[in-house]
Amino acid sequence: MKIKKNYSYSGYLYILPWILGFLLLQLVPLVNSFWYSFTNFQLLGKAQFLGLDNYKKIFLSDAVFRQSLKVTFYYVLIAVPLKIAFALVIAIILNQNIKGINLFRTLYYIPSILGGSVAISVLWKYLFMNQGVVNNIIGRFGIGAIDWLGDPRLALGTVSLVTIWQFGSSMLLFLAGLKQIPVSLYEAAKIDGAGRMRTFWSITLPELSPIVLFNLIMQMINAFQDFTSAFIITQGGPLKSTYLYGLMLYDQGFKFFKMGYSSALSWILFAIILFFSSLTFGSSQSWVHYGDAK
């Protein structure tokens, strides 16, 4: 006997909080921010309609925007793939009947609980400063002090390390996915005489590809908006080499209170995120494998 769900309007009652929240705190703000982006809205005073002026200014004459966009792309391009690759490799290693898997899983996951916090950013600043621990350690190996945070070529990499350090959350997802792969697939591969690498490329990776896609999209959305670590560790410097988009949005909106201009910037970021998410989704048809019976 198949039991049917309640067909009842009381369903609306249960989802009412979300409907209100969606309308008041997501949809209306979204429309408003779109409207602001065409105005010179500042915190005080009336907003004046400017047409496309904000956007024109951003694209044609805002050098800071260009710098920030460049830095953000580098950051997303460094941090996201490395984080996911790390998570995947470690999950696969952990999945081979490793003793103490719970301990390893917990140890690798802890940074994900702490990573976005001010405390960790402060810690990072101390670890990588000139007289910091990292330079002390490499000094023991005869390597001279490296200016991790002061050198514009290195600072972004140092900040990205905080993000990559938090690979544990993606790793948990991969581990859950690995458990779902039918053992029969591996047995069949063994009978066919497939080696380790072959098995990885033909079975493990295709079976995990939906999770790779999910991780890629969510991590990308987050990385494009990252704020805390760059704000605390380097304040966007040196020479704006870690001036992530989130920092620019904050400065324009909440430091200079140019809320119209900042809204325009945020819609550009939104468009960029949408573009890359759809690109990833679009490409996924050729590399994501969905199980037939799932």
Partner 1 sequence: MTRPKIKYSRILAYVLLIALAYVMIYPLLWMVGAAFKTNDEIFGTISLLPKNPVFGAFKAGWVGTGQYGFSDYLKNTFYMVVPTVFFTVLSSVLVGYGFARFDFPLKRALFAIMLSTMMLPATVIIIPRYIFFKNLGWLDTYLPFIVPAALGCFPFFNFMMVQFFRGLPLEIDESGKLDGCNSFVILKDLLLPLCTSAIFSVIVFQFVWTWNDFMNVLIYISSVAKYPIALGLRMTMDISTEFDWNQIMAMSLIAILPPVIVFFAAQKYFVEGIATTGMKV
Site for partner 1 in 205-234 (CB under 8 A): 217-218, 221-222, 224-225, 227-228, 231-232
Sequence-ordered list of residues with C-beta below 8 angstroms from that of 150, at least 6 positions apart, any chain: 130, 238
Q: Is 127 in the site for partner 1 (CB under 8 A)?
A: yes
Q: Which of residues 235-274 bind partner 1 (CB under 8 A)?
A: 245-246, 249-250, 253-254, 259, 262-263, 266-267, 269-270, 273
C-alpha to C-alpha distance for 264 and 54, rounded to whole angstroms: 6
Site string for partner 1, 173-192 (x = CB under 8 A): x--xx-x-------------
Buried b (16+ CB within 10 A) or exposed e, 98-120: eeeeeeebeebeebbeebbeeeb
Going by the DSSP 8-state scheme, the letter that residue 291 receives in this structure is -
Which window, 21-29, 55-63, 145-153, 283-291, contacts partner 1 (CB under 8 A)? 21-29
CA dihedral (174, 175, 180, 181) positive or negative: positive
Q: Can you read off the two tokens belonging to residue 27? A: 């949809």
Site string for partner 1, 147-166 (x = CB under 8 A): ------------------x-
Of 61, 131, 184, 286, the one binding partner 1 by CB under 8 A: 131
Of 88, 90, 149, 212, the one binding partner 1 by CB under 8 A: 90
Q: How far is the CB of 224 from partner 1 (least distance, A)?
A: 7
Contact 150, 258 (CB under 8 A): no
Between 49 and 254, name the residue whose CB sits nearer to partner 1: 254
Q: Is 126 in the site for partner 1 (CB under 8 A)?
A: yes
C-alpha to C-alpha distance for 14 and 270, rounded to whole angstroms: 31
C-alpha to C-alpha distance for 126 and 132, rounded to whole angstroms: 6
